Amino acid sequence: MKRCSVLASITATLLLWSVAGHAQSPEIQKFFVFDAHMHPMANAYRGGWNAGDPNDPQFSLSMARQGGLGAVFANTSVDEFYSVNHIAVTEVLRQFDHMYRQVVLYPDQLGIARDADQVRALQKEGKLAIILSISGGSALESDLAALRMLHQLGLRLISPMHFFKNSIGDIAISKENNGKGSGLTPFGRELVAEMNRLGIIIDLAHASEQTSREIIAASTQPVINSHVAVEALVDAPLNWNDAMLRLLGESGGLIGIPFIPQVISPEFHEKWPPRRTANPSSRITETDPMEYTGDPAKIYDFIREQTQGSGSGRAERARRQRADLPPLSEYVKHIDHVVNLVGIDHVCISTDWGATVVSAQGIENAAEFQNVAQALLDSGYSEEDVAKMRVFDEVVKTAPKLTD
């Protein structure tokens, strides 16, 4: 059966592009890539390097250019330790500052995008569009004023949940309510309404089933799950059942299938089950007690001490896992399942790079994005040369113009 192109799906996917004024031959034609979720900028901030440095095995600006990466939801990584100690908003500002400084360092390669039109404008200039995002609503410290001010800086997506239940709702690995978790809190409902008003996309990644259902019901705008795979294919903790996938698709939302081998391959999941603390920064959340009682002026010294050496351990684990990476065909199975369930306009791609250190075969770094395009084409998907960014367009453009 000939299918519509997943390459021209919505908000974050592979989109056809060509250099303005130059006809492209099939040999050099590339697909424009819009990644729904990655963390390398946050890792660069923590590691003290820049986007153009070759420090990250998954992402650099040169890799991004080679692979056709054109836009990305670049997530901060601010977990509960920061909110417990009332430095979460400060930490978001520090990471946003690092991203803005990358634009200053690489003005011919990067730009901050606040809406889909700016993504398209940066695409025409051959620049990577960075869309500021937050993983974990705890970073707001339960303060809508923080949300509004971060929106002024360009914040356009938040996943309210991350590793711990918080003042907004419950997490995917909750044992409450027969594993469905509890739902939105009163503050969570206020947050959903304000995010809708401002034009900030709500990302259900890591949220419990009940919290997700209540967000979908409460939101007046389409919502997404930026990195989730199919439970019917792999019974992993963060994967969704068909009922949830159908609910999100039928509500007008978007399902981002990640390259994470633990969630797309049953064999890999069995041998290398996901760990809760997948993010390199999250080791700080294992501090017991989580409340820091030392000199407030030295809290960042404490964070550095707690997280020191985490990179080497992750690198060694990744080295051992690479022998078992699943083929891209396993990834395409999840795309097919979602397309058959809810249609082509409700599926996209994501990497979760920076939080996960290995991917499927052939897509281990940003230089290899075109391999995904080829795998999809080989599987029977056809080309489209009209880029759509429906969810990003719909959520952002309906908000009031609060900034120029």
pLDDT at residue number 345: 84
| Residue ranges of E strands in 249-392 | 254-258, 347-350
Instruction: Report the candidate in 213, 224, 265 with the shortest Cα–Cα distance to residue 34.
Output: 224
Mean pLDDT in residue range 77-83 = 87
Q: What is the pLDDT of residue 282?
A: 55
Running DSSP on this structure, what letter comes out for residue 364?
S
Using a 10 angstrom Cβ sphere, with 0-12 exposed, 13-18 middle and 19 or more buried, the burial of residue 100 is middle
What pLDDT score does 1 carry?
A: 31
* CA 50/CA 52 separation, integer angstroms: 5
Residues of the chain above pLDDT 70, percent: 83
Nearest to 249 by CA among 224, 228, 215, 229: 224
Is residue 374 pLDDT above 70, yes or no?
yes
Cα distance between residue 174 and residue 11, in whole Å = 29
- What is the tens place of the pLDDT at every residue in 382-396? 665 223 445 556 666
Over residues 191-233, the pLDDT tens digits come to 999 999 999 999 999 999 999 999 999 999 999 999 999 999 9
**What pLDDT is recorded for position 21?**
26
Residue 112 main-chain phi, psi, to 5 deg: -85, 125
Q: What is the mean pLDDT of residues 60-89?
A: 92
CA-angle at 218, arms to 217 and 219, nearest 5° = 100
Percent over 90 (pLDDT), the chain: 60
Token pair of 123 as six digits:
């695409």
Contacts of 52 (CB under 8 A, 6+ apart): 60, 61, 62, 105, 106, 109
Q: Are 245 and 230 in contact (CB under 8 A)?
A: yes
pLDDT for 358: 87
Report whether pLDDT(337) > 70.
Answer: yes
Q: Which domains does the chain have, with CATH numbers?
A: 10-20+31-397 (3.20.20.140)
Residue 381 has pLDDT above 60, yes or no: yes
* In contact, 30 and 21? CB cutoff 8 Å: no
pLDDT band at 139 (very low <50, low <70, confident <90, very high): very high
Cβ-contact 130, 72 below 8 angstroms: yes
User: Can you say how many angstroms the Cα of residue 343 is from the centroid of all Cα atoms in its chain?
Assistant: 21
Kindly state the average pLDDT of the residues 310-328: 81
pTM score, whole prediction? 0.88
The pLDDT value recorded for residue 297 is 93
Q: What is the pLDDT of residue 239?
A: 95
Distance of CA 288 to the CA centre of its chain: 28
Segment 22-64, tens digit of pLDDT: 233 344 457 788 899 999 888 899 889 999 998 899 999 999 9
